[in-house]
Structure 1
Amino acid sequence: MSLSGSWDEFVDAVREGLKRLAENTVQEAFDQAEADAMVFLQGSEQSLRRWGDALAQGKITKDDFEYLVGGQKDLAKMHALKAIGVTQARLERFRTGLISLVVSSAFDAIGL
Structure 2
Amino acid sequence: MSTYALTDETSIDTLIFWIESSDGSISYKEQEAVKRILSNMKYDMETFQKTMSQISAMGTDEVKQMANEAVDHINRSFSDDGKRLTYSLLEAIAACDGTISKAEQEKLDAIKSELGV
> Greater helix share, 1 or 2?
1
Tell me if both proteins adopt one fold, taking TM over 0.5 as the criterion: no
Under a length normalisation based on structure 1, what TM-score does the superposition of the two structures give?
0.34
Question: Of the two, which has the highest radius of gyration?
Answer: 1
